[in-house]
Structure 1
Amino acid sequence: MDASDLLRNSLLQLSKQEKIRDVIEKAPVSRSVVKRFVPGTDRADVVGAAAEIAASGRLATIDYLGEDCLELAQAEHTRDAYVGLLTGLSDQGLTQGGRVEVSLKLSALGQALPGDGDRIALDHAREICTAAEKAGTTVTLDMEDHTTTDRTLESLRELRADFPSVGAVLQAYLYRTEADCRDLATAGSRVRLCKGAYKEPESVAFQASADVDKSYVRCLKVLMKGEGYPMVASHDPRLIEIAGALAGQAGRDPRSFEYQMLYGIRPEEQRRIADRGDQMRVYIPYGQEWYGYLMRRMAERPANVMFFLRGVATKG
């Protein structure tokens, strides 16, 4: 395991440390630095960010931050936040044709609630999908740690029965993902391929960055050759170049797939990709629960750690 892999594992551990979280969240400097990655905590903040992204010719997907919900009222609050968000985006003319969509985590909608958690989360997701359809856009179902993969894919199948355009997310660091790509590379299927941002055991996931990259390329080949709509979620210049080459080999039209990057990371490259005629979607998070998100983003790309530390030093 190299130094970058060790740093990644350490950051993933920190994402669960409440004492460290309290220190960072209470530091005034943290919020000013975090705004590069999270535009704000309120709906108005993220609608404004989405409007700016749309004006630059980029697409967007919005995540209301929160996961591991253990109270029904909290799950209902998340559902209502998404429904209200979709209404606000529609009122601003941002949703038609899927220009701005939303991304959902089932754990934030009640999946872990005792008893009927899966059903509760699915019902909440259905309500959000209904609001998205009314707004003229769609939904992508985020993937979480490996213990929920099968349940998330089952919920995806149920949602697609009524809402065929619901997108899936697959994580290249899991051994199973290449097979899942084959299952989902079908006509009308939208699949976001990412590397993965949770700490997973060696029994289910590749541990070395080089092995994850190789898996990503294998999975991407499956998706590009398939009949679905690949969504290439990566900031890695090598993988972006490979994705373009594979799309060309498969004879894909630029509108038959898209690139995705996180809000605040490589914005100049995002604009360059959009300006050359390819589709570029920006993943925009918002809300109070930004700490775990930030730690996972730094774990995915250790260069982000240096950005954060430089920001602290400058602001301090």
Structure 2
Amino acid sequence: MLRSLFRAAAGSSRLERLVESAPVSKDVVRRFIAGRSAEEALVASRALVDDGLVVSLDLLGEDTRTIEQAVTARDDYLGTLGRVRDAGLSSVVEVSVKLSALGQRIDEKLAYEHARAICAAAEEAGTAVTLDAEEHGSTDATLETLLELRKDFPATGAVLQAYLRRTEGDCRELSAAGSRVRLCKGSYAEPESVAFQSSLDVDKSFVRCLNILMSGEGYPMVATHDARLIAIAEDRARWFDRSTGEFEFQLMYGVRPEEQTRLAAGGNTVRVYLPYGEHWYAYLVRRLADRPANVGFAARAMTSKK
């Protein structure tokens, strides 16, 4: 019931206007969203880079329903990459891409061609692309697209979600030299048949997957805000003799900023996942719909600096 209410709210333009105008809501949006435009996202990126962090830009808009919207998303990414290059940020700012935003649900070939164009622009700009994970039903198609893209753009990264039962196997396949893998817990509502349901089981899977990636020859990107899992990742890196330049931590914009600073001060690469764009409202509400427990998480993040 709660999930259905959130999803209905995500499509309400009236509620969007109310949220945007409420003082408390404005604070939440500013805390977690870099802005509506690429220019605002680059201003936020520059501030993060000045604090010793690196960035992954995520243009919001996963609800692409038409080819025209998919083309617009592709062109927006191309424009953003040009701005990253012109700003001299290519070595510290990359982009994250949801294939659904590029039309994957309409035409997988079209989404691949759009992703290829973005990867080519990223390579020309001197940076890289990571393909985001979405619902489990799209995982095979996304990983197939990844393998095709990596033939010409080997720096293209993948995202694997530890709560999916299949992910240990995917980690083994993607832990080879040159492979970049962002490991996160996962945020979509998934059935028990494909995903672990308890927090403990998800955490255990995360650690098993982390061990596979840290012991492999690829480049692990550890995406979590969980202090215990961060500590385990630091320990696993030492155990497998990885230097701080052979893996990185990733945290979301506005979440545990003092922890981001602490990790960076320890010599770690810390990449901030920075969402921006006109579709911020649907993004925030759908994240709550996917996992209503995120409501409490957002509230804690708003009231805590650690």
Is TM-score (shorter-chain normalized) higher than 0.5?
Answer: yes
Residue by residue over 1:79-132, the C-alpha shift from the partner in whole angstroms, topping out at 9 and shown as x without a partner, is 010010011111111113xx100000000001111xxx1110000001111110
Whole-Å separation in 1 of the counterparts to 2:157 and 2:53: 18
User: Residue 128 of structure 2 aligns with which residue?
Assistant: 138
Q: Is the 8 A contact 1:234 1:260 kept in 2?
A: yes
Residue by residue over 1:193-238, the C-alpha shift from the partner in whole angstroms, topping out at 9 and shown as x without a partner, is 0011111011110111111111111110110000000000000000
Distance 1:13 1:244, change over 3 A: farther
What is the 5 A alignment of 1:87-126? 87-96=82-91, 99-113=92-106, 117-126=107-116
Aligned: 1:248 with 2:238? yes
User: Residue 81 of structure 2 aligns with which residue?
Assistant: 86
Matched residue count? 296
Residue by residue over 1:161-217, the C-alpha shift from the partner in whole angstroms, topping out at 9 and shown as x without a partner, is 010010000000100001100000000000000011111011110111111111111
Whole-Å separation in 1 of the counterparts to 2:11 and 2:300: 19
Shift of 1:15: 4.4
Letter in 1 for 2:60: L
Whole-Å separation in 2 of the counterparts to 1:89 and 1:253: 28
Q: Is the 8 A contact 1:15 1:291 kept in 2?
A: no
User: Residue 183 of structure 2 aligns with which residue?
Assistant: 193
User: Residue 251 of structure 2 aligns with which residue?
Assistant: 261
Q: Is the 8 A contact 1:76 1:109 kept in 2?
A: yes
Whole-Å separation in 2 of the counterparts to 1:244 and 1:185: 18
User: Residue 215 of structure 2 aligns with which residue?
Assistant: 225
**Secondary structure in 2 matching 1:35:** helix
Letter in 2 for 1:47: L
Consecutive unaligned residues of structure 1, counting only runs of 5 or more, are 1-8, 311-316
Aligned: 1:73 with 2:76? no
Distance 1:282 1:296, change over 3 A: farther
Aligned: 1:37 with 2:32? yes
Letter in 2 for 1:158: E
Letter in 2 for 1:191: V
Consecutive unaligned residues of structure 2, counting only runs of 5 or more, are none
User: Residue 55 of structure 2 aligns with which residue?
Assistant: 60
**Secondary structure in 2 matching 1:111:** coil
**Secondary structure in 2 matching 1:17:** helix
Letter in 1 for 2:104: Q
RMSD of equivalent CA atoms: 1.8
**Secondary structure in 1 matching 2:279:** coil
Shift of 1:303: 3.7
Shift of 1:307: 4.9
Q: Is the 8 A contact 1:297 1:304 kept in 2?
A: no
User: Residue 235 of structure 1 aligns with which residue?
Assistant: 225
Distance 1:52 1:44, change over 3 A: same
Residue by residue over 1:243-269, the C-alpha shift from the partner in whole angstroms, topping out at 9 and shown as x without a partner, is 000010000011000000000000111
Aligned pair partner of 1:306 in 285, 288, 299:
299
Letter in 1 for 2:184: C
User: Residue 207 of structure 1 aligns with which residue?
Assistant: 197
Moved more, 39-48 or 258-267: 39-48
Percent of aligned positions that are identical? 52
